[in-house]
Structure 1
Amino acid sequence: METRLLAQRAAVEASIQEALDRLRLLDTTIERLRKDEKQMNYDVTIKTLPERQVASVRQILPCYDREGDLWHIFVRETALLHIQDGDPALCISVYHDGEYKEADVDVEIQKTVKGTYPDTEHVKFKTIPPVTVASATFQGPYRQIGEVNQAVASWVEDNGYAFDGLFFNIYHVSPHETRNPEEFVTEVCYPVRKR
């Protein structure tokens, strides 16, 4: 009798383990669907940005929210240079840490320019080579940026590309043009190459 009960117990344990495995599979599938649903909200494209002349300011900032400090330095130090905007006129932020950090972030801002100008104390003029990027553009507040970064990074990994440089954002409509965060238009870009 004990042997039979032990056999039944083993069968029940096996059934429980099977059910737990099915639950884990369902949880994984649900999580993947949620992830795919988020990614579907952003249209990721591959494009090449041409070579461009930029004015650049790079510093270590206490946090990402202080990026505006770099733009203030840029405006202050270039006011008397009468800089002509590049064509297209792009305002870009490059993140040199290569990953998200809570503090002491290495950020560079760039604005495309036409012509040549002397460097100032903090503003450096340089040529940026062409770069192929995977990008997604979104409208609205910057609080979405983490989700958009995840969507683009996942797309890169899932579509036969490899990361090939520092990620950056292009601000098509920024606080410089509007005070309404719902009107901001930002493009998240990851330099890539085919695997």
Structure 2
Amino acid sequence: MLRIGDFSKLSRISIRMLRHYDEIGLLVPESVDCSSGYRYYSEGQLMLANRIDALKSMGFSLSMIAQIMMTCKEPGDLKQYLDLKQAEMMEQAEKIDRQLLLLETTIRRLGEEEYFMEYSVTLKEMPQRTVASLRKIIPAYDQEGLLWGLLTKELEGQQVQLANPCYSLAIFHDEGYKENDVDVEIQISVDGSYQDTENVKFKTVPPVLVASAVYKGGYEQITPVNQAVAAWIRDNQYNLAESMFSIYHVSPAIDPNPENWVTEVCYPVIPK
């Protein structure tokens, strides 16, 4: 039998940690002297201590190690836990790699482009939401108000409850920029179920990953904002996935003063 100090030296596990293992039932001493309280371990428990230490070095928590020790009787039983941990760590490594890339590109671009500091780009997921949607061809981009007026008129009789938060946005479906006859869809997020109207359709929009930039002021800023987002997408190894859209946090309908408008430009993306 080995006293706790000797067992600690041989297993290379601190006395403090061995006591903790005992408290949680992970590695219980072979015997405890009733009068002195000394803990004694058997030489055979060194293999168990080494197994615990190996699993810890792989990133398993103590609670998970305890579960593994209770359930794994055959080598094949352990493999399923190792496979799951490997997949989890690979996902974490991929996330860290992207975070490192984002830091690297941000540091590199600091000071290189004036608009970068003014229009900071972030990556986020737009949640699944129910929306009232209206899509039409309109004469030009600055005629988008026609769609909002029509949507408001057709929803008047249904007492539609807006969601919280309420996303009010416009999606631009044309492949490129057009001088006229532009394909625009507007959406506003709602709570509840409602009947479609002649032009307004209610639908569920799935979550989407976007690179976005928020700016305050008039819409003439859209070109440098787009440049900032496009450069971010390029530098951080993403591809465009769907049509871009703008979220109107403070729109002309809320405040007629362009200086107070707040718009978020969003580009759906997928990793390369």
TM-score (norm 2): 0.58
- Over the aligned positions, Cα root-mean-square deviation in angstroms equals 1.6
Any runs of at least 4 consecutive aligned residues in structure 1 with deviations exceeding 3 A, and if so which?
Answer: 32-35
Match of 1:87 among 164, 174, 178: 164
User: What do residues 119-154 of structure 1 show as CA deviations (whole Å, max 9, x unaligned)?
Assistant: 001100001000000000000011111221121112
Match of 1:103 in 2: 180
- Structure 2 unaligned residues grouped into runs of 5+: 1-108
Please show how residues 66-145 of structure 1 align to structure 2 within 5 Å: 66-145=143-222
Q: SS at 2:228's partner residue?
A: helix
Q: Which has the higher contact order (CA 8 A, sep 6+)?
A: 1
Q: Contact 2:110–2:116 (CA<8 Å) still a contact in 1?
A: no
How far has the Cα of 1:40 moved from its partner?
A: 2.5
The structure carrying a bigger strand percent of its residues is 1
Q: The residue matched to 1:111 in structure 2 has which SS?
A: strand
CA distance in 2, matches of 1:170, 1:83: 20
Deviation at 1:106, TM superposition (A): 0.2
| Cα deviation digits, residues 35-64 of structure 1 (max 9, x gap) | 722223211000001100000110001100
Unaligned runs of 5+ in 1: 1-31
TM-score normalised by structure 1 residue count: 0.81
The 8 Å contact of residues 98 and 167 in structure 1, kept in 2 or not, is answered as: no
For 2:215, the aligned partner's letter is F
Which residue in 1 is equivalent to 2:69? Answer: none
| Residues 31-50 of structure 1 aligned to structure 2 (within 5 Å) | 36-50=113-127
Equivalent pairs: percent with the same residue?
53
